[in-house]
Amino acid sequence: MPRPISVRIDPSALAHNFAQVSHRAQQAYAGHGLVPPRFWAVIKANAYGHGIAPAVHAFQAADGLAMLDLHEAIQCREQGWTKPLLLLEGIFSAADAELAAHYGLTIVVHTAEQLQWLQHTKLSQPLPAFIKLNTGMQRLGFDASDFAIAFQQAKALQQQATLGDLGVMTHFARADEDPSTTQQQMAHFNQYAAPHSSWQSVGNSAATLNTDFPQWLQPNVQYWLRPGICLYGSSPFIDLPAETLRLQPAQTLEAELIAVQHLKAGDQVGYGHTFTATQSMRLGVVACGYADGYPRHAPNGTPVVVGGIRTQLVGRVSMDMLTVDLSAIPHAQVGTKVVLWGHGGPSVDEVAQASGTLGYELLCAVAPRVPRFVLAEDNHEK
């Protein structure tokens, strides 16, 4: 028998989350008299650990899919996706351009080198492109002072049929926590990028879900929003749980108890003896450790559900195991089901918060050694 741990993916939760997020944004945009937004569903990093194939099928209602890796874009075409695909970091070499053209991809152009690579290539079809403005993230994008020239060069490439339709784009640094920074970034974008094209892409999950965001947008612009994390049932906001946003978990990490220990007062648990029993208690050993993608930094008290009852981690997480308090779960025994996060367990955001990280990192990091099961689309967990 394989080691009793698995990760379950629920495509109907993914589809539900997309419908929920897009409906919420459509309402907000209509309320501000804006053009209905379109959506790139972001599926980078193997669809945030959920798998490209289930994501492609679950996000059929999206207008396009966005990712970083060429091979993930190719997988989408192989899965039958015919709508747009966006490479969020564009091409990494001149040779990528023809591959992108061959698969009908849309690219981001964020640096002068990419424009140079394109100058010396003859493509089988023009590449639609978003020219990216750096509005204060200081990661990718042309600065305001270079943007007009970059856009001009892109237009020249459009003349020679290397680039196709040209849009403009930016990315927000603090949309999850500080609206005033987003407002400033948007003002910058409206000043320097927006005049060049009415095909515009802004907005991660936090901006997509923020119903105040549309007040900084312009009429007659076709915005293509780029939600990612929220589609996977994790909240981008520290103080707003996913269920409040009516998002459903789509990834469930599950294991079983493989041993039960009976502790007496004073017994100490695991590496470093970081937990000491204050009275006699039962301790469960779970077949899940950091080599499975569970965060090693999860402290004593991190929530976990054992046999349907919520309890907590005690002792340090080791490579292949972790230990839990069974005091309140007398029926727990070897073979009892343990949900680390997801449906029937704590939310991935709760585990992340306890461990000093984000749901993003945990969802992406489930290890390849953990067997993955994808539920049938009509087999919803709720």
Ligand X SMILES: *Cc1c(COP(=O)(O)O)cnc(C)c1O
Q: Contact residues for ligand X (CB under 6 A)? A: 42, 44, 88, 171, 204-205, 226-229, 236
Report the C-alpha gap between 314 and 291 in whole angstroms: 18
* DSSP code per residue over 261-299: EEE-TT-EETGGG-EE-SS-EEEEEES--GGGT--TTPP
Report the C-alpha gap between 236 and 218 in whole angstroms: 24
Residue 214 phi, psi dihedral angles, 5° rounding: -60, -20
Q: Nearest Cα to 288, choosing from 8, 7, 5?
A: 5
Q: How far is CA 4 from CA 254, 314, 315, in A?
A: 8, 20, 21
Q: How far is the CB of 183 from ligand X (least distance, A)?
A: 18
Residues tagged active-site? 44, 271
The token pair at 94 is 């001149």
Q: How far is the CB of 229 from ligand X (least distance, A)?
A: 4
Name the DSSP letter for residue 344: T
Q: How far is the CB of 225 from ligand X (least distance, A)?
A: 9
- When the beta carbons of 34 and 87 are compared against ligand X, the nearer one is 87
Contact predicate 220/198, CB 8 Å: yes
The radius of gyration computed from the CA coordinates of the chain, to the nearest angstrom, equals 24
- When the beta carbons of 49 and 228 are compared against ligand X, the nearer one is 228
- When the beta carbons of 87 and 321 are compared against ligand X, the nearer one is 87
Q: Nearest Cα to 263, choosing from 278, 244, 241?
A: 278
Q: How far is the CB of 164 from ligand X (least distance, A)?
A: 20
- When the beta carbons of 40 and 151 are compared against ligand X, the nearer one is 40
Q: SS3 for 154?
A: helix
- When the beta carbons of 130 and 341 are compared against ligand X, the nearer one is 130
Contact predicate 60/48, CB 8 Å: no
